[in-house]
Amino acid sequence: MQDFRELKVWKKSRFLLLEVFEILETFPKHDFIGLTCQIRNSCIAIPANIARGFSRKEQDELVHFFQISMASVNKLENYLRRAYHLRLMNNSNYQHLKRETAEIMSLLGAWVQH
């Protein structure tokens, strides 16, 4: 495989980003705690670091950036939980995003263990 865009984990994380951004459109425009920005940043970092890691020549460098992506998934999950508890998103969206992030984490974990 020569291109990061062929990776299932990159495709799923990119799709997650699109889904999250769509849900963020429903958030109040007056985000006093900056949660929307935090969610965006962590979500953007996941596929970006997958691409960055895949461009590295050494396996340990790839693993390093995939671990950074895993940390971004954890941050995203934390922020999504906070948004749900603040009633900024409904249960259906929250549960769906939890499943999606869990699958991405599993795929990243497989690469890190490889």
Residues constituting the chain: 114
Flag whether 29 is in a domain.
no
* pLDDT tens by residue, 97-112: 999 999 999 999 998 8
Q: How many CB atoms lie within 10 A of CB 86?
A: 12
On whether residue 13 sits in a domain, the answer given is: yes
Structural domain including 41 reads 4-18+35-113
Q: What is the DSSP letter of 58?
A: S
CATH (domain of 87): 1.20.1440.60
How far apart CA 4 and CA 45 sit, in angstroms, is: 15
Amino acid of residue 12 = K
Q: How many CB atoms lie within 10 A of CB 68?
A: 18
Q: How far is CA 44 from the centre of its chain?
A: 7
- For the four alpha carbons of 102, 81, 64 and 9, in that order, the dihedral sign comes to positive
pTM: 0.92
Number of domains in the chain: 1
Q: What is the pLDDT of residues 65-95, one digit of tens each?
A: 999 999 999 999 999 999 999 999 999 999 9
Any domain includes 24: no
